[in-house]
Amino acid sequence: MTRTICPALFLLAAMAAHGGVTAEPDPEKWLAGAEAAYARVDRYTAIFHKQQRVAGELLAEETILLKCRKKPFSLYMKWLTEPFKGSELLYVAGWNEDRIRAHRGGILRFITRNIDPSDPGLLAGNLRPVTSTGIGYLLQTVALNIRKAIEAGELTFSERGEENVYGRRTQILGVVLPRDKANDYDGARFVINQDLATKILLRIRVYDRDDQLVENYGYENLDLEAPLSDADFDPKNPAYHF
C-alpha cells in the first residue's frame, strides 16, 4: 500500500529539523535535569567570559581564568585581557574573615587587599558580587527566574535548535517574560546554551525590556574533571602573586 504524505506536514518536519519551528519543553523537567547534572560536579576550571551593562553602558568583555570548588565554595580568578590583565582574586568561604584577597595587574600588582564581597567600591562596576561567579550561580539565576515566572503564569520557554559554542554542541533555549514586568525579573529575555553532552549551562545572555544585552556569561574550555587541590586556593601558591 502506498502512503500519501501531506505536503504541509513534510514542510513542517523539514522546518523543525533546521530550527525553523521551536519546541516547547517542560521547564520544570528541564530544570531538574540541569540541576542533576550540576549536582554531579565537585570542581572545575574554565575560561570565564563576562560582559555586563552597568549604569546604561555595555562594558567590554572580560576574559578570566577560573578555578572553582564547591565545598568549601572557593574561587581563584586571573584576568587574561586588558584593562585588568594580571589581576588575581581568591575567595574561600570561611577563610580570611569571608573576604576576598585580590590585587590589580601591572604596577599595582604588589598591592594586595582584603575586601568584603559586598564592598560598594567592588560592586561599583559590577551587577553582581564576584562570589556569584560560576556555573552553579548561572543555573541558580535561570532557575529562580523560570520558577518565579511559572508561578505567575507568565513564562514562555522554548527550544530553539542547536549551536556550536566554544567548540561544544549546545541546545539553545529561550526564556521570554512579559516586557512590562521585566523589572520583576533579571531581564525580559534569556538565551541559554546548554551543553548537549554534559547538560551543563555553558552560556547565558540576558536582555532587558528594550532588548538590550544586559548580561553575558560564558564558560569556555570547561573541565569538569580538573585535578584541583587545596593548593589551587592557597595564596601561597608559587604560581600566584598575592
Q: Rounded to an integer, what distance in angstroms lies between the CA atom of residue 231 and that of residue 238?
A: 9
> Per-residue pLDDT for 5 more than 70?
no
Enter the pTM of the model.
0.88
pLDDT digits (tens, 9 = 90+) for 173-188: 999 999 999 999 999 9
pLDDT digits (tens, 9 = 90+) for 114-170: 999 999 988 888 999 999 999 999 999 999 999 999 999 999 999 999 999 999 999
- For the residues 100-115, what does the mean pLDDT come to? 90
Residue 22 has a pLDDT of 60
What value, to the nearest 5°, has the Cα angle with vertex 30 and ends 53 and 153? Answer: 70
Task: Indicate the domain borders of the chain.
Answer: 23-233
Q: Rounded to an integer, what distance in angstroms lies between the CA atom of residue 56 and that of residue 68?
A: 30
Q: Are 67 and 226 in contact (CB under 8 A)?
A: yes
Residue 162 has a pLDDT of 98
Read out DSSP for 148-185?
HHHHHT--EEEEEEEEEETTEEEEEEEEE--GGGGGGS
Could you say which of 1.20.120.790, 3.40.50.800, 3.10.129.10, 2.50.20.10 is the CATH number of the domain covering 23-233?
2.50.20.10
| Mean pLDDT, the chain, whole residue set | 91
Q: Rounded to an integer, what distance in angstroms lies between the CA atom of residue 176 and that of residue 205?
A: 12
Q: Are 46 and 203 in contact (CB under 8 A)?
A: no
